[in-house]
């Protein structure tokens, strides 16, 4: 495939590359190169001509709850533990109904597509059939990523609590089935968080992780009451992070922990040593009054961080909104911590493209060998009164863009059309 346009990408957090009127050539799923002049060997081949348009890497959202998409925006005058009990758990219990689940998954996948998220790591629910349906529908959609059946065997209502052995058996079944039947969607171990999973369950999941070499996703130190609760549940283990480590759930370079706001220096050292990716979820942390992650400091201390939506703690799946929110929240922190420079808008953009893509492979950039995942930005010409540079168009899209501003979406080297007709 050959595309023409104005390409912007970030090979590093402090490097914004802009190539105007350039050609990008792909081979199969990946980028071959970007050229100011089309190399002669490609002459005469069809070109996807996006001249005048800005083309950026698509978003990768490493922390999103697929069932909760239906609850976005609701109940934010509570804090985490009440919000889970009042709004989140009752909704997730409904996914026992497979027909309901399939309808919800299609709405979810259509929305991710529209917003320009081509890859993600999602929590499904505890239900094996619903989780499998999300994996299959994701594969059909042309989007890619990781999906986990949630594990919960304590501190939940009867309709959302599993037997430990069944939770482990269902998880293993999905690991095997997805490996046999799916190409572009993988399974990720998904213990909800320490208060939802007994020691026996965490230990069993740790063993599955080892046996099948699986990635892991969960929540860590999001809210002070949650952190206290973990201390009460595991008085013999010194920190929240250490609980996951003791049960084999900090798998080296294969673990995503969402939030990670209240960390000791010792916890940070362990997370760094294990190469854990911290998913910073600014919308969620503000909506649920959870706290402000010291993002700049964490990055400077060598922790891997990315920006994620955490729908429905976050109110929107549109990652440009989380990019803008991460920047804004970082500025608020800077006002009271002037020694921690705030993130720039493009640094946050990096954390939602190449930064998060690193967890999934060579993803999130237009460097040679990277998966070609891209969004073509095309603001409504009727509203286009001023000449703008490509970078100004990117800034405007990140702060106030939506799906009307995206003319095309590519994932793994192919154009992806709207996945589902939800009226079916
Ligand atoms: N901690 C445990 N479960 C959840 C969840 O669904 N959302 C958020 N934001 N935090 C959690
Ligand atoms: Fe979450």
DSSP 126-195: S-HHHHHHHHHHHHHHT-EEEEE-EE--SSS-GGG---HHHHHHHHHHHHHHHHHH-SSEEE-BEE--GG
- What is the Å distance from ligand 1's center to 399 Cα? 26
Nearest CA to ligand 1 atom 7: 313
pLDDT of 382 reads: 78
pLDDT at residue 424 greater than cutoff 60: no
- What is the Å distance from ligand 1's center to 84 Cα? 7
Interatomic CA distance for residues 284 and 322, integer angstroms: 9
* Residue percentage of the chain with pLDDT more than 90: 98
Expressed in percent and rounded to 5, the helix, strand and coil fractions of the chain are 45, 25, 35
pLDDT of 164 reads: 98
pLDDT at residue 35 greater than cutoff 70: yes
Ligand 1 atom closest to Cα of residue 123: 6
pLDDT of 423 reads: 64
Average pLDDT value for the chain: 98
pLDDT at residue 277 greater than cutoff 60: yes
pLDDT at residue 322 greater than cutoff 80: yes
Ligand 1 atom closest to Cα of residue 281: 9
- What is the Å distance from ligand 1's center to 400 Cα? 27
pTM value is 0.98
pLDDT of 44 reads: 95
pLDDT at residue 182 greater than cutoff 70: yes
Among 38-52, 85-99, 321-335, 382-396, which stretch is predicted with the lowest mean pLDDT? 382-396
């Amino acid at each position: 495939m050959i595309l023409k346009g104005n390409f912007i990408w970030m090979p590093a957090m402090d490097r914004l590359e802009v190539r105007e009127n350039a050609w990008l050539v792909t081979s199969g799923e990946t980028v071959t190169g970007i050229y100011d002049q089309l190399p002669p060997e490609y002459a005469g081949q069809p070109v996807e001509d996006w001249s005048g348009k800005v083309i950026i890497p698509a978003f990768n959202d490493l922390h999103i709850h697929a069932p909760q998409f239906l609850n976005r925006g609701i109940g934010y005058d509570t804090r985490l533990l009440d919000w889970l009990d009042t709004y989140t758990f009752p909704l997730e219990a409904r996914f026992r109904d497979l027909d309901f689940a399939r309808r919800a998954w299609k709405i979810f996948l259509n929305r991710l597509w529209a917003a320009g998220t081509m890859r993600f790591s999602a929590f499904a629910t505890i239900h094996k059939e619903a989780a499998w349906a999300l994996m299959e529908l994701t594969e059909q959609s042309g989007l890619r990523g990781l999906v986990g059946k949630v594990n919960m065997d304590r501190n939940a209502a009867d309709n959302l609590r599993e037997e430990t052995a069944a939770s482990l058996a269902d998880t293993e079944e999905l690991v095997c089935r997805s490996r046999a039947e799916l190409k572009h969607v993988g399974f990720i171990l998904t213990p909800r968080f320490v208060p939802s999973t007994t020691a026996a369950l965490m230990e069993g999941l740790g063993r599955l992780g080892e046996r099948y070499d699986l990635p892991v996703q969960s929540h860590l130190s999001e809210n002070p009451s949650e952190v206290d609760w973990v201390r009460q549940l595991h008085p013999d283990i010194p920190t929240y992070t250490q609980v996951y480590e003791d049960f084999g759930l900090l798998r080296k370079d294969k673990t995503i922990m969402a939030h990670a706001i209240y960390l000791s220096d010792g916890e940070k050292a362990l997370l760094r040593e294990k190469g854990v990716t911290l998913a910073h979820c600014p919308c969620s942390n503000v909506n649920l009054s959870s706290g402000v992650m010291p993002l700049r400091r964490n990055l400077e201390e060598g922790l891997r961080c990315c920006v994620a939506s955490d729908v429905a703690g976050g109110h929107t799946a549109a990652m440009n909104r989380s990019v803008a929110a991460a920047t804004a929240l970082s500025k608020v922190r800077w006002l009271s911590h002037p020694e921690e420079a705030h993130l720039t808008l493009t640094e946050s953009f990096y954390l939602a493209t190449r930064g998060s893509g690193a967890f999934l492979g060579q993803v999130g950039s237009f460097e040679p060998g990277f998966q070609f995942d891209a969004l073509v930005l095309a603001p409504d010409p009727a509203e286009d009164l001023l000449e703008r540079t490509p970078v100004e168009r990117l800034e405007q899209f990140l702060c106030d863009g939506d799906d009307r501003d995206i003319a095309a979406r590519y994932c793994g080297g192919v154009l992806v059309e709207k996945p589902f007709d939800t009226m079916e």
